[in-house]
Structure 1
Amino acid sequence: MDTRLMNGAGNKFILADVRGRAGVFNLSRTTVRELAHTHHFDQLLVLEDSDSADAFMRIWNADGDEVGACGNGTRAAAWAMMQETGARAVSLGTVGGLLHASDAGPLTVSVDMGPPRLDWQDIPLARPMDTVKLDYAAEIDGIRIEAPGAVSMGNPHAVFFIRDVEAFPAARLGREVELDPLFPERVNVGFAQIHDANHIRLRVWERGAGITAACGTGACAALVAAHRRGLAERRASIMTNGGELFVDWREDDHVILTGPVEDEGPITVNF
């Protein structure tokens, strides 16, 4: 494995393995943005050497910002590592913490995303607030959304509950919410439609990437936010534009994300 194009439920990644190389691997925002413009990915994932895990994974959004977590990206990287070694499970260090992933079937990977972070300071928010139902609203052209749930899965999420996700202008309002001063690190914005207690339709505006086909941490955040509001059970199917993800918020407080991966093959990237 060197550099590959992959996706997880349609979430597109470039995965680069620089383990064993001498020196520090650094990328400028400009370089990442140019690569995203050329290769049309949502996130760039880079595997580095680690003393405490099978690899350390760094994550850049398409806008060039380095971030702490990517659920579908972790699943894709774990699949590639397991294919390379024949292992059934791997560990990945990230800025957001140590993650454990395992084989869940053909082209399917589960990752333990750890406990959700639910205190206002952990999201983070700019001021104290009940994260079950934020005292917050946004409006564009007479379309108003309000009272999202807030969850951090190693990155910040605001989840709005919408009656009809298909007809909703998610891109316009997602951009507005992402940049609101309430969210000092900006925020990923989920738009969730509850079909029933075990089935949720989700679209996500990812900070630094825009509307994506899927978002793994967004799926986790949607399930957690919905359960905290009494709208869903602790385990649900999350249907995204790119495919179906399964999220289980276990009784031990860990959130397990499971879903498909696809290896689109090696590519040449000039870093």
Structure 2
Amino acid sequence: MNFIKMHGLGNDFILVNLFTEPEIDYQNLAKDWCHRQLGIGADGLVLIQPPEKKENHFKMTIYNSDGSEADMCGNAIRCFAKYVYEKKMVDLEEFRIETRAGVMVPKVNVVEGKVVSVQVDMGKPRFKPDEIPINLPTQEVIDKKVRVGDGYYRINALSMGNPHCVIFVDDVDHYPVEKVGPIIECDPIFPARVNVEFVEVLNRKEIKMRVWERGAGLTLACGTGACASVVACVKNDLTVPEVTVHLPGGDLFIKWAKDDHVYMTGPATYVYTGQINI
């Protein structure tokens, strides 16, 4: 089986092009392939597929390193967009990709035939508890003190096509993300589990973020998490709507625009291509 290894700010993925590779049970393979000692090693497995509707150009399916299926991933879709454009699978600089979270529209920034960055319209944030989902009897969950596990946290919950819980901290570099993240991810208050972002606000235009990803654990970056974090910052009047998000793997630029859509811009990088036995 041929594959491509790529990353978006250190959030790394195995990509398989199903325009040329066979349809097999990739979900069961994902956990083994993503294993860092026994497989290729990655945060997730991404399938490049033909679209189900003719007005779209591609379909993207993502399996996390634990084998669960993800709704959406901002870093993965940038890798996807760079690959299909540079491999001339599409001749447009803006195209439509079907995901479990709906149709996403990346726009590639091309210099001398190479994609140097990708902007993705990530859609509108959703705040209703049943859309996230979160089990709380309220209209929205912004700066709410909630008991999770054995402690209380002030949380901000929203969906960017997948569920997020944003928590503001004073010193994100030294915050025990590895301890608190999995407790919150799997708490019964989040029936579909949740991605957990820990955010330190540096100033009105910059934040620093670390993330515990649903189904993948501690990762170097999370595109949807960066979007959710900026939305939470704006809702709490902590930043302006255009923010640089500093992640362990690098920077993303996030804009919550007047059309209520969130736009994410960042790089994608090739690592290598290879073959694996199946």
After superposition, the C-alpha distances for 1:140-183 in whole angstroms (9 at most, x for unaligned) are 7xxx5611111111110000000000111101100110010000
* 1:43-58 paired onto structure 2 within 5 Å: 43-50=44-51, 51=53, 52-58=55-61
1:204 corresponds to 2:205 = no
1:167 corresponds to 2:174 = yes
Instruction: Report what 2:141 is aligned to.
Output: 131
SS at match of 1:257: strand
Instruction: Report what 1:224 is aligned to.
Output: 231
Partners of 1:68 and 1:21 lie apart in 2 by 23
Partners of 1:268 and 1:159 lie apart in 2 by 38
Contact kept in structure 2, 1:163 and 1:193, CA below 8 Å = yes
Partners of 2:149 and 2:187 lie apart in 1 by 12
SS at match of 2:132: coil
- Calculate the aligned-residue CA RMSD, in Å: 1.7
Q: Which segment drifts farther, 255-264 or 82-91? A: 82-91
Contact kept in structure 2, 1:20 and 1:49, CA below 8 Å = no
Partners of 2:21 and 2:212 lie apart in 1 by 35
The CA deviation at 1:12 is 0.3
* 1:82-161 paired onto structure 2 within 5 Å: 82-85=85-88, 86-105=91-110, 106-129=115-138, 130-138=140-148, 146-161=153-168
Contact kept in structure 2, 1:138 and 1:173, CA below 8 Å = no
Contact kept in structure 1, 2:145 and 2:152, CA below 8 Å = no
Instruction: Report what 2:16 is aligned to.
Output: 16
After superposition, the C-alpha distances for 1:9-68 in whole angstroms (9 at most, x for unaligned) are 11101111102667x543344x21111111221111001111332110001110000111
Identity across the alignment (%):
34
Residues 137, 194 of structure 1: alpha-carbon distance in 2 compared, 3 angstrom cutoff: farther
After superposition, the C-alpha distances for 1:236-259 in whole angstroms (9 at most, x for unaligned) are 000000000000000001100101
Gaps of 5+ in 2: none
The CA deviation at 1:139 is 6.3
Partners of 2:82 and 2:231 lie apart in 1 by 25
Partners of 1:145 and 1:195 lie apart in 2 by 24
Contact kept in structure 2, 1:121 and 1:128, CA below 8 Å = no
Please give the TM-score of this superposition, normalised by the length of structure 1: 0.93
Partners of 1:195 and 1:145 lie apart in 2 by 24
1:35 corresponds to 2:33 = yes
1:26 corresponds to 2:25 = yes
The CA deviation at 1:103 is 1.5
Partners of 2:105 and 2:215 lie apart in 1 by 26
After superposition, the C-alpha distances for 1:215-270 in whole angstroms (9 at most, x for unaligned) are 00000000001110111111100000000000000000110010111111212134
The CA deviation at 1:89 is 2.1
Please give the TM-score of this superposition, normalised by the length of structure 2: 0.90
Gaps of 5+ in 1: none
Partners of 2:100 and 2:264 lie apart in 1 by 18
Amino acid across the alignment from 1:242: G
Instruction: Report what 2:259 is aligned to.
Output: 252
1:240 corresponds to 2:247 = yes
After superposition, the C-alpha distances for 1:191-214 in whole angstroms (9 at most, x for unaligned) are 000001110000000011111000
After superposition, the C-alpha distances for 1:106-157 in whole angstroms (9 at most, x for unaligned) are 52111110101111111101232331123314467xxx56111111111100
Amino acid across the alignment from 2:25: N
Partners of 2:9 and 2:26 lie apart in 1 by 26
* Aligned structure 1 segments of 4 or more residues deviating by more than 6 angstroms: none
Partners of 1:134 and 1:42 lie apart in 2 by 30
Contact kept in structure 2, 1:139 and 1:173, CA below 8 Å = no
Q: Which segment drifts farther, 80-89 or 246-255? A: 80-89
